[in-house]
Structure 1
Amino acid sequence: MEKDSKIYVAGHRGLVGSAIVRQLEKQGYTNLVYRTSSELDLKDKTSVDAFFKTEKPEYVFLAAAKVGGIVANNEYPADFIRDNLLIQTNTIDAAYRNGVKKLLFLGSTCIYPKFAAQPMNEDSLLTGELEPTNEPYAIAKIAGIKMCESYNRQYGTNYISVMPTNLYGPNDNFDLETSHVLPALMRKFHEAKEENKSEVEVWGTGSPKREFLYSDDLADATIYLMNNYNGNQFVNVGVGKDLPIKELAEKIKKVVGFKGEIVFNTSKPDGTPRKLVDVSKLNEIGWQAQTTLDEGLEKAYDWFLENKETATSAAK
């Protein structure tokens, strides 16, 4: 990408999209295009076609998606599969028909089988059953990967896909009904501290292991891959190490300054036992994460404190 290339970031107000915009601006890219969901509904084919025809972006970062944690995925499975399929299909197809030079599609490591060998290698895709709690979302993301691969094969496009591990950072979703584990815990500990509560409840046993990547690191990786990787196989993006939820809860408790106890509600689901990604392919291409979990948690909590009112309102 040239510094003045026209770059469209879809989903620019979300956790991932906002980080990509910050990193592009930081690296000197000056011709960025984006629209809010009220200005451009990516689920509407006619609107998407008109946008691409008018704006003619050269590069596309497809970070727009309907996302959520276990609760949201369980309660709104139809919304997750429908909305994500529509967003991806409309954007990828319009990019092809309007001569986009390169597109980067953002997936998720939930595409991997529930009991995939750890760490999860790119070759593990479609080798086993998915985690039931987020299967509709995962199937939509797998469809996005296959759509990019298929367009490359049939039309000679240059579309790449990246699969980030669990993400956190500025503009995260802190709504307790729809958020992921890290921001949900951060909000729970903060409110417990404010209300002088003696304990905080954490869902599950605390034993499942998770890997966490700071959103600005992911953004840096996507720009690096856009400039340095051309290939039909998707690429995992992560830090290459994980930790138990129990340990994560202890770290967040410390960052927030909560003095009470942590109580695990073992009647609640744990989800997938482990989700560590193999980042050897990414490392070979020449990129590694720079932000440690302790550093990232401090940054994320600082952002939360500065944006508490909007961060704790309903999911954006």
Structure 2
Amino acid sequence: MDESKTILVTGGTGLVGEAIKQLVTSQKRTNEKWVFVSSKDANLCDLDQTRELFKKHKPTHVIHLAAKVGGLFDNMSNNLDFLKDNLHINDNVLQASYENGVKKVVSCLSTCIFPDKTSYPIDETMVHNGPPHNSNFGYSHAKRMVDVMNKAYHEKYGCQFTSVIPCNVFGPHDNYNLKSGHVIPALIRKFFDVIQTGGTQFTVYGSGKPLRQFIYSKDLAKLFVWVLFEYNEIEPIILAVDESDEVTIKQVAEEILKAYNYKGELIFDTSKADGQYKKTASNSKLRKYLPDFEFTSFDSAVKDSVEWYQKNHATARN
């Protein structure tokens, strides 16, 4: 008989947490208790509150999603805050996990941690090869330190702490705040607002030329659960769609327009910053483990995401 597990998911009411909750609920998994917590349950920047949270739930496993996150312009304006808050959150979660004998922790990083000046595609061996892009260096350095701490905890205590590096994530339950949201939810929200007011033009900041890989949150949820129970390396693993699925921001905007059936004019404001031009990530390590994993097509995932927001915009994180 399998030993019972209690899986604590920090940041459990966010984009990825909600996708994981939907997945494990639909699967009716046995001998597993899943606990999804948010900032309302504890301030993870505070070590005492973090310890109390772990004492209350007694997790055997942790998926660590909680972070201070934001979009390009929010990061550019607040690098110090992103650095300090994320350093505190990650340090406290891993310390509490160690103190409570948690068997495994999977933390969530981001492809923005990779060096700005690098060769492509980037892979797991290149995380610390140079400084990240200056636009979000605070967040990026804080996330890099999770990888360093994972290795240090394993070296000193034998802890099974690892991390995943997803490409850009989107889907239902995203953050649609125009200041702090990432590109797809921000555009979904902006398009919605324009359509509601009968606008005939829509403006996207930047040139539309930067390239990105996007992973649907429901696909990422499946991969997170696989990593938690099947992936046994301390070294991080990139969770990304194939390189051939990379799209431009212009293509993203056009796909969202299509999902809304919007016939207005699309304009790009080139006076606004583009951010990093590309950060193409290799998923070859993932493909060695899961060669047949099928990702949801981008157009279908965008359509689902737009439809979810149309139905839930009044209660979504706006």
Length-normalised TM-score, structure 2: 0.94
- Show structure 1 runs of 4+ deviating over 6 A: none
Preserved CA contact (<8 Å) 1:3 1:28: no
Matching residue of 1:268: 272
Counterpart in 1 of 2:7?
Answer: 7
Q: Does 1:311 align with 2:313?
A: no
- The alpha carbon displacement at 1:170 in A equals 1.1
Structure 2 contact 13–36 (Cα < 8 Å) conserved: no
Residue 305 of structure 1 deviates from its aligned partner by: 1.1
* Contact kept? 2:8, 2:62, Cα under 8 Å: yes
Query: Per-residue deviation at 1:311?
Result: 2.2
1:184-217, CA deviations, whole angstroms, 9 ceiling, x for partnerless residues? 1111222222222121111111111011100111
Partner of 1:154: 156
Indicate the SS of the match to 1:31: strand
* 1:117 CA displacement: 1.7
Kept in 1, the 8 Å contact 2:46–2:92? The answer is: yes
Q: State the Cα distance separating 1:36 from its structure 2 match.
A: 2.9
Q: Is residue 257 from structure 1 mapped to residue 247 from structure 2 by the alignment?
A: no
The residue aligned with 1:210 is 212
1:178 is matched with 180
Look up the match of 1:239. Answer: 241
Alignment correspondent of 1:219: 221
Q: Which residue identity does 1:139 align to in structure 2?
A: H
Q: CA deviation at 1:113?
A: 1.1
**CA deviation string 1:56-81 (max 9, x = no partner):** 21010001111111111022222211
Aligned in 2, Cα 1:3/1:249: closer, same or farther, shift over 3 Å? farther
Count of matched residue positions in the alignment of Structure 1 and Structure 2: 313
Aligned to 1:291: 296
Matching of residues 1-316 of structure 1 within 5 Å: 4-29=4-29, 30-240=32-242, 241-286=245-290, 288-311=293-316, 313=318
Matches of 1:37 and 1:130 in 2, distance apart?
28
CA distance in 1, matches of 2:153, 2:218: 29
**SS at 1:103 equivalent:** strand
Counterpart contact for 2:60–2:102, Cα < 8 Å: yes
Quote the offset at 1:146 in angstroms. Answer: 1.0
Structure 1 counterpart of 2:308, which letter? W
Task: Mark the CA change 1:275 to 1:289 in structure 2 (over 3 Å): closer, same or farther.
Answer: farther
TM-score by length of 1: 0.95
Matched position secondary structure for 1:167: strand
In the superposition, relative to structure 1, how do residues 221 and 2 fare at CA in structure 2: closer, same or farther (>3 Å)?
A: farther
| 1:289 to partner: Cα distance | 4.3
Determine the C-alpha separation between the residues in 2 that align with 1:107 and 1:208.
21
Which runs of 5 or more structure 2 residues have no equivalent in the other structure?
A: none
Alpha-carbon deviations, 1:86-124, whole Å to 9, x = none?
111101111011110111010000011123222211112
Matches of 1:2 and 1:251, distance apart in 2: 45
Letter in 1 for 2:226: Y
Mapped to 2, the partners of 1:232 and 1:34 lie a distance apart of 24
Q: CA deviation at 1:299?
A: 1.1
Which has the larger displacement, 185-194 or 106-115? 185-194
Distance 1:51 1:94, change over 3 A: same
Q: Secondary structure at the match of 1:262?
A: strand
CA RMSD of superposed structures (Å): 1.6
Aligned residue for 1:236, secondary structure, equals strand
Comparing 211-220 and 28-37, the one that deviates more: 28-37
State the one-letter code of the partner of 1:92. L
Q: Distance in 2 between matches of 1:114 and 1:258?
A: 35
Give the conservation status (yes or no) of the 8 Å contact 2:116–2:276.
yes
Deviations 1:222-244 (A, max 9, x none): 11111211112100001123111
How many Å apart are 1:312 and its aligned residue? Answer: 5.5
* Counterparts of 2:3 and 2:204, CA distance in 1: 45
**Letter matched to residue 53 of structure 1:** K
Letter in 2 for 1:302: E
TM superposition shift of 1:28: 2.4
2:301 & 2:95 partners in 1: Cα distance? 36
Matches of 1:4 and 1:306, distance apart in 2: 37
Deviation track 1:11-62 (CA, whole Å, cap 9, x = no partner) reads 1111111112222222323411233312211111011112223322101000
Amino acid at match of 1:79: D
